[in-house]
Structure 1
Amino acid sequence: MRPGSTVMFTGDSITDSQRLESEDGLGFGYPLRIAGEWGFRCPEQPVTWLNSGVAGNKVMDLEARWQSDVLDVRPDVVSILVGINDVGWHAYDPDGYLIPAEEYAAGYDRLLAPLAEAGTELILIEPFLLPVRGVLEVGAALIGPEDRKKWRADLDPKIQVVRELARKYDAQLLAADGLFAELSATTEPEYWAMDGVHPTPAGHAALAAAWLRLVTRG
């Protein structure tokens, strides 16, 4: 990243992290940690940090607000984390339905195409799911480990979509699902995300550290 760059984080609740309740609009998760660490390490390279994540968003929700929230801002770098709400666990909601991987891929591609055409640097973060053991309440349903195994079967093809799009658009890929799988091999997964989806402070710190390694390597 060059001095004076504008970096836009966008996606769902993991990125949102209560940004509207925060003084600087970055929320309380990994975007704030990235901005803080960058400012500490590189005071001579000021960067403008923005967050347009919205809790509950799917790819199609991002599409609906992409022009005003992202394209019109003309950021130099866009970092995207979206996909867990496109996974089958939303079928437990009254209005939920299963989103095919092909539909997810087509929508995600439509997000990236105008950014690539404008020369925007892209960072794609894989959606992820940790194998926690507890029970999660979704609407009126109680969702346990066996249910999350079904989510995993739906999530894996969508992670592959993100990897393929990263190659197509020469984007930086943050392999977050693999990151958390590796961390969970030595520390219980609940330490990183109590419900398997939303990171704990330690989980956000892990995401932020991986993001910074990605953009500063070499």
Structure 2
Amino acid sequence: MTTTYLQPGDRVLLTGDSITEWGRDHDQPDSPWGLGHGYAGIVAALAGARRPDLGLTFHNRGVGGDTTRMLRDRWHPDALALEPTVVSVLVGVNDTWRRFGSGDVTTTAEYEEHYRAILDAARERLDPRFVLVEPFVLPVPPVSPAWREDLDPRIHVVRRLAAEYDAVLVPADGLFAAAASRTAPERWAFDGVHPTPAGHGLLAEAWLAAVGLAAR
């Protein structure tokens, strides 16, 4: 069997904003419908198909519109209470979006403070393994060059935290940039932020490759 970051019986939490939420049923969060039809659902489907022997359980707790502060505010009921053994986080683009959409500014330092707080709380309570996914944008309106300037420092925060917390890093920003260089960026994220079905597939495959479950 291929060596993987995941272990038998792992409970995997995927959380963050709307990119993770993507169609999940909030009323039946732990049913098959609770995984949604974005990258989180694809990850669960393919991981289960490729390694049924691991007996993995997946939970999706993405919430549309969430910033790092909002994720921190709900961290106990939506993360720690589930007692995951693996915690996957994708958050940050709304910290940028809200700056330009509503003037609600989260500085890079505040972003790191909130992100670090959720990782520390999980480590102290559960000591899980972490998968950190870079936030990303593509040059499709309403995304502008100013968004990129705001988001880039947050991406560097995630990379630094991944090294510090011995986490698996999913290099999503570079992945989407490379994909968009081969075709129109709208093919991967229809508004520069939210992935198309192809974009969700791309992200899911990158997540699986990062944990050692790439297609053979």
> Could you tell me whether the CA contact under 8 Å between 1:116 and 1:169 is conserved in 2?
no
1:208 aligns with 2:213: no
Runs of 4+ in 1 over 4 A off after TM superposition: none
| Aligned pair partner of 1:127 in 135, 149, 153 | 135
Q: Is the 8 A contact 2:99 2:106 kept in 1?
A: no
Residues 136-185 of structure 1, C-alpha deviation per residue, up to 9 Å, x if partnerless? xxxxxxx4xxx610000000000011111111111111110000011111
Percent identity over the alignment is: 47
Amino acid at match of 1:6: R
Q: Normalising by structure 2, report the TM-score.
A: 0.90
1:45-56 correspondence runs (5 A): 45-56=54-65
* Structure 2 residue 187 is matched with structure 1 residue 179: no
Equivalent in the alignment of 1:103 = 110
Matched, 1:80 2:51: no
- Correspondence for 2:68: 59
Q: Secondary structure at the match of 2:33?
A: coil
Name the counterpart of 2:194: 198
Segments of 5+ residues of structure 1 without an aligned counterpart are: 136-142
SS across alignment from 1:199: coil
Q: Secondary structure at the match of 2:169?
A: strand
* TM-score (structure 1 length as normaliser): 0.89
Displacement, 1:92? 4.2
Q: 1:167 and 1:57 mapped to 2: Cα distance?
A: 24
Deviation at 1:45, TM superposition (A): 1.7
Q: Is the 8 A contact 2:7 2:54 kept in 1?
A: yes
For 1:200, the aligned partner's letter is T
Deviations 1:32-89 (A, max 9, x none): 10111112111222111100100000001011110111011110001000000001x3
In the alignment, is residue 167 of structure 1 matched against residue 163 of structure 2?
Answer: yes
Q: Secondary structure, in 3 states, of the residue corresponding to 1:60?
A: helix
Q: Distance in 1 between matches of 2:114 and 2:208?
A: 27
Shift of 1:99: 1.2
**Number of matched residues?**
204
Q: Which SS does the other structure have where 1:123 is aligned?
A: strand
Pair 1:6 & 2:11 matched:
yes
Structure 1 Cα separation of the partners of residues 49 and 163 of structure 2 = 31
| Distance in 1 separating the partners of 2:72 and 2:108 | 16
The alignment's C-alpha RMSD in Å is 1.6
Q: Compute the displacement of 1:217 (Å).
A: 6.5
